[in-house]
Structure 1
Amino acid sequence: MLVRDPHARAQVIANANQILTDIAAALSTDLPQSDEAFRFLSWDIGLTRAAAGVHPKESLLAASVFFRAAFSVLSKRLQGDSETDRLLRHVVNTLEQSVSIRIREAATSYAGFLLSKVHEAHVAERGRIARELHDRIGQSLSVAHRQAELSVMYRTTDPAKAIAKMERTQEAIREAMWRLRQLTSDLHPLEPIQSLEKALLAHLETIGAEDLRAELVVNGDEVWATPAISEECLLILSEGIRNALSHGKPSAISIRVDIAPHELRASVADDGRGFDVNRPSDRHSLGLASIQERAALLGGMVTISSEVGRGTRIDLAVPLPGSVDEPG
């Protein structure tokens, strides 16, 4: 396995040369020794093989093969009198020491790489939990807050509407509690959404902004997008809508989704306040950062364009499984 890869083969040859150099040096000084330069190569080998998913047993096998091959050649060259036997024992000891210290260094490097990957996984998991809290629970609480505000506003002028808004507040709070239970169990939806279009319509209905003109257009066959991709796209678009209502104060918002066999494209555009995309404090708000992170996890891309006083537009492009050409 190692010799088939050009880089790994070069590492094996360099390692063998260093070991044979150790043996030559030991024969001239009568002391086992290794140049400290071996550490750099050993660490490089450990990291490279860990990153490539090569199991440590491959390194042990390579060391065993090299030891047997080298010992076979050296023993034939050094057969003879008692002095030769002494030298042979010395060579064997040096060979074993030179090989084993390299294996230890490479193993340490390998373990360090794996620990680093575990740490990265923990950081990624914390980021995912933050996104789930913000996108799912935060979204429901934001809707509840908005409905409660509307209920207070209509309390004296339209009591019936105020009651309806309070009922929607309760629904949003129940949804937040349900999503919190989801998060504490497995952080994934219990059931995949059946229709992205219906889910977006339901989300727009829960917003309940009386003075907002909302338009939704969905083109293409939703079966081309897996339930997992549809779920993530729903969260991205919902967050885009939430950001528009929370920060842009628009009078109109337009959501468009175009689904093709190879790609899903979507956009959220509003006529609100807009913002300066060159200001990091604006562009990297928690909501927009979450949108970009979720798109990246899907292998997709988000483009955010905005201008103060002229609204904001979020464009999403996500590759679908059909975008990979199958042979034959």
Structure 2
Amino acid sequence: MKTSIAIIGAGIAGITLARALAPSADVTIFEKSRGLGGRMANRRREDFAFDHGAQYFTARSPAFRSVAEDAVQAGHAGTWPRAVLTLTETGLAPDSRPAERRYIGLPGMSGFANGMAEGLHIRKEAAVAALEPAKDGWSVTDSEGQDLGRFDVVISTAPAPQTIRLMPEAFSGHAAMKTVKLSGCFTLMIGLDASLDLGFEAARIEDDVLSWIAIEASKPGRPERMALTIHSRNDWAEANLERDRSEVQTEMLAALKRLLGYDFSNATWLDLHRWRYANVEKAVGEPFLFDDALGLGACGDWCLGNRVEAAVGSATALSELLTKRLQGA
């Protein structure tokens, strides 16, 4: 009988880990949301489309570059933008960072994750809330106390603060997880009836409130309706995480008016999303955490850094350890 493994979270780390382990184990992914991809998320509202999480990803290692290019060939990913500018109160300027190939999911950002997840056993809208010792493994239950099954090994790919709450005190990775520092972000989504030529597809913003703006219609595979996605600064979001949402939205709109000269407060569509764990400020500094005696582990971008590729690298490293463990079982 194959070893049974539960993976908590269907973000890129969870999907990468499941893909690697599926040939040699009985793997189930539990995802609390309806969609896959974690922060590689998209939202559709009234014929507007927004990538309201990660805006693109890069692939600097040969292994992940191969995965990304395979996704492009399969139609699950494309490239965007042609250039990233810098927006300040004095206008637009070229980005000073080195140019590199940037990828996005198709037809929305989650399309990349959906393509990677084909063939995997995923239980959506299943929020794992507790792990209890069971005979030779762990019993997994959801937030309503429903039994989700018994597993030999459980791996959490949720953000470190959520994984800390889930793992038993005996888990050897607690001290390392407590060193992780994450920051939040607010995403403002604006849908307009009329098109605007703002002079860019995407821009980093130098401002006290805002950090990024994207023209969604400039991305391949997206609807043509004019939609803007704007991210706040992470430090500003941290200082305002518990603030009234309408006040946050008003201040972000005011910053946008100051930068672009447009008042979007009466736009056809306005929405605000709060990401409590959006950015890795301080990572664990090792690829993954695994307690062999308990059969419990954790991985994710927060182990290595702040990029999609960090999540892939973390999950890949843990999968290599677990595969050796499975082969020796």
Indicate the TM-score class for this superposition, using the shorter chain for normalisation. Answer: under 0.3
More strand by share: 2
TM value normalised by structure 2: 0.20
More helix by share: 1
Q: Report 1 or 2 for greater relative contact order, CA contacts < 8 Å, sequence distance ≥ 6.
A: 2
TM value normalised by structure 1: 0.20
Instruction: Pick the structure with greater CA Rg.
Output: 1
